[in-house]
Structure formats: C-alpha cells, structure tokens
C-alpha cells in the first residue's frame, strides 16, 4: 500500500470546516474503495499532533470510531513519512500493532485511516494527573510492546526497526492492550548485515547512541529505546526531563539506585512501604530494571532483550 497506490476517483467529497487550519471550507477527495464500503464523517476532534501531521477522530457508518492521520502535504518529510508508513504497514499483521483501515491521497490531502485506540497513549496514562496504571497493567503493556518488537524484528521476512519507540507512540485500546503506532521514520533492514544508515533524528532521550551520533540503525536501536521506556514506565520519569543534563540521565539514575535505593526513584503511587507483599513487589521491579539496563547498554552487541 504505497501512497501512490492510493489514487482517488471523484466519488465522494468531505467537507472540513477549519479542521485543518484553513480559513475557508476545504474539500478533499476520499478513496473510492473507502467510500463504497463506508459512509463516514470527519468529526474534526483533534486527538494529537506530531512533526508530520495531526490525528483527528472520524466515524464510520457502522458506528466505529476511527483515527484519521492527516499529513502536512507542504512538508516533503511528511510525504516521505506517509510513504514509509504505507510501505511498512501494508503487510504487517499483529495484535500489538495499530491497524490501518485505508487511506486517502491527492495533491492537496493525504491521510491514513487507522483503528482508533479509545484509551489514548501510554504517555497520557503515565504523566497525566488524572490517570493511573497499577503494576500489573504497566507490566502487561510492556509485554505487549515486547511482543510487537519481536514480530517486527523476527516475524516478518524483512526486519523492521521502528526507530521512534516511546510512550506517545504506544496506544491503548478499550481493553488496555498496547498497540505500537507511528511508523513514519521506520526502517526496513537488509537481511545480509542487518544495519542501515539514516539522517532522520528520533526523539531525544530514547535514541540509542549509535543512532544519534552516527545514524546507524539496527534492531538494537529499538531494544535500547525499549529499555529506556521500561525505566520511564516504572519511575514515571521522562528521559528528557529537565533535571537531566549532559552529565546525567534516567539510565544513570536507575543504575545508581540499584538495588538498595530503588524504592526512592520508582513512581510513588505505585508502591507503598506499608502495603502487603511490599518486598516481593520491589524485587519484581528490581528485576524489571535489570532488564531495562541490559536493554540500554551503550554497546549494541551487549544489549539483550528477552522477548
């Protein structure tokens, strides 16, 4: 499903009133196949924004909510991002990956229609004051993410590297099952050496050293990001938090707290000293942090991820 294959015929028009930041009514074509299957409306509810586009809510005629990812067509990198997502997702099928329903494309409007994740992103659940995840939920979510990575790295004919794994790119469905999303800068690897180069920069704090410094991309980059995510999920501390500078990092904080001071840095809402089975739960988090540190070693060869 490359973006070129999503050519449109003028069968249906959708009226967007200022949704895309236009001062006047803005009309777009919608893919004929989608129009024949569904009568749907673009609600205009903004779900999120990113460097290459914005995501809005839509509704299909059967009542299903969908997420419509609208790309900024004026940005060349946004169009490259669309091509990449189409190339990566066209043959991938896994319960822990966001499902693409269809797409729309012409000179003025390019979008992907995605399965809507009603519980939003993992980032929201970690850092919003009104949200809370217990230990079991956090562990299950990270197991889901690990399953998605295992499939991307080993379950497809060509290994896929996500390249931007972070909590805002992990979405939660109605059952709190995690789905890895946003493959706009993903890379398909050559089977021979399992490594490629890129000039695209991912999110600071989650990027593996060899990726950030040299543009070297391999599956070990995702493993590194996964380790950082594990730390963030159980400490509720972002790796790009203002407290960290060039001489310190979230990884340093976790490493220096192991094992005796770990309780002091984990999410205060997650574990209380007076609760039942406190020691066992702390041991469990300690083991998880050991996995996180192994995943985020400086050398790619030393990183291990027990899927």
* C-alpha Rg value of the chain to the nearest Å: 21
Q: For residue 40, how many other CB atoms are within 10 A of its CB?
A: 20
3-class secondary structure per residue, 191-209: CCCCCEECCCCCCCCCCCH
Whole-angstrom distance, CA of residue 185 vs CA of residue 203: 11
Which phi and psi angles does 45 have, rounded to 5°? -75, 120
Q: Token digits for 117?
A: 């994740």
Answer yes or no: are the C-beta atoms of 156 and 150 closer than 8 Å: no
Active-site residue, selected from the candidate residues 164, 222, 274, 283:
164
The two structure tokens encoding residue 74? 């004026």
* Residues placed in the known binding site: 69
User: Is 241 annotated in the active site?
Assistant: no
How many helices, marked H, and strands, marked E, lie in the chain? 8, 13
Q: Which residues are annotated as a binding site for ATP?
A: 69
Would you name the residues annotated as active-site residues? 164
């Amino acid at each position: 499903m490359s973006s070129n294959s999503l050519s449109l015929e003028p069968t249906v028009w959708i009226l967007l009133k200022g949704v895309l930041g236009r001062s006047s009514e803005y009309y777009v074509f919608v893919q004929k196949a989608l129009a024949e299957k569904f009568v749907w409306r673009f609600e205009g509810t903004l779900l999120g924004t990113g460097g290459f586009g914005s995501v809005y809510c839509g509704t299909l005629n059967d009542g299903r909510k969908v997420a419509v990812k609208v790309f900024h067509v004026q940005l060349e990198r946004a169009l490259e991002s669309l091509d990449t997502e189409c190339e990566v997702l066209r043959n991938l099928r896994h319960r822990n990956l966001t499902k693409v329903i269809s797409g729309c494309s012409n000179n003025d409007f390019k979008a992907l229609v995605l399965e809507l994740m009603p519980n939003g992103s993992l980032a929201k659940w970690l850092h919003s004051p009104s949200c809370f995840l217990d230990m079991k939920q956090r562990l299950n979510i990270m197991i889901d993410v690990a399953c998605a990575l295992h499939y991307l790295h080993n379950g497809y004919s060509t290994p896929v590297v996500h390249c931007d794994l972070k909590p805002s790119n992990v979405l939660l469905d109605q059952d709190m099952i995690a789905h890895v999303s946003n493959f706009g800068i993903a890379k398909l690897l050559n089977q021979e050496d399992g490594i490629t180069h890129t000039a695209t920069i991912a999110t600071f704090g989650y990027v593996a050293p060899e990726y950030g410094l040299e543009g070297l991309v391999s599956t070990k980059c995702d493993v590194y990001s996964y380790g950082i995510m594990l730390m963030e999920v159980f400490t509720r501390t972002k790796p790009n938090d203002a407290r960290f500078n060039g001489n310190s990092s979230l990884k340093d904080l976790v490493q220096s707290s192991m094992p005796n001071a770990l309780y002091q840095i984990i999410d205060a809402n997650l574990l209380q000293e007076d609760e039942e089975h406190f020691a066992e739960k702390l041991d469990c988090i300690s083991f998880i942090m050991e996995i996180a540190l192994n995943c985020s070693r400086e050398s790619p060869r030393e990183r291990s991820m027990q899927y």
